[in-house]
């Protein structure tokens, strides 16, 4: 998984903590996390396409959560940023080399490696789908929201 997922989730947290009616400009979010604005915009665009964030164009534009934190799952953010392709792709290497001599019936069922990897991926996806941005908010250090708001205010809202 790329760091875009981490940035996407942290931006969702920041937007929830700031909880403002006005959208937060991408440049402001980039300043908060000390990132180049162009880099961050590229990370936020898939979240807009997925309906996790709303984007408002113009001089007073920016980003805000498209839905309440309780309605945004971690899996949605991961899928928006990374795509929905499975992490493990079985290429049937068991049918090469010594396996090339085996009967076709030996390969009628998926191998144990593919099965184990599929079960692990399903468990991972279920766990991320069961957690929301609101869960992350609840697990955050007590001072994090106030610290984010103070920093945002210092940058000049």
pLDDT band (50, 70, 90) for residue 58: confident
For residue 50, is pLDDT > 70? yes
For residue 21, is pLDDT > 80? no
pLDDT band (50, 70, 90) for residue 60: confident
Number of domains in the chain: 1
User: Between residues 1 and 73, which one has the greater pLDDT?
Assistant: 73
Q: CATH number, domain at 54? A: 1.10.10.10
Interval 61-74 mean pLDDT: 96
- Taking all residues of the chain, what is their mean pLDDT, rounded to a whole number? 92
Q: What is the pLDDT, as a whole number, of residue 12?
A: 96
**Strand ranges (E), the chain:** 53-56, 62-65
Domain boundaries, position 124: 3-155
For residue 5, is pLDDT > 80? yes
Structure tokens at 141: 């250090």
pLDDT band (50, 70, 90) for residue 157: low
């Amino acid at each position: 998984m790329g760091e875009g997922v981490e940035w996407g989730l942290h931006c969702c947290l920041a937007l929830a903590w700031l909880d403002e009616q006005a959208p937060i400009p991408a440049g402001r979010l980039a300043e908060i996390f000390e990132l180049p604005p162009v880099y961050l915009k590229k990370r936020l665009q898939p979240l807009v396409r997925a309906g996790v964030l709303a984007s408002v164009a113009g001089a007073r534009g920016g980003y805000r959560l498209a839905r309440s934190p309780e309605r945004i799952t971690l899996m949605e953010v991961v899928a928006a940023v990374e795509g929905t392709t499975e992490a493990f792709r079985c290429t049937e290497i068991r049918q090469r080399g010594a396996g090339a001599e085996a009967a076709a019936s030996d390969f009628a069922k998926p191998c144990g490696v593919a099965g184990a990897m599929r079960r692990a991926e399903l468990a991972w996806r279920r766990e991320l789908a069961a957690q929301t941005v609101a869960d992350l908010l609840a697990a955050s250090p007590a001072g994090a929201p106030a610290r984010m708001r103070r920093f945002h205010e210092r940058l000049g809202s």
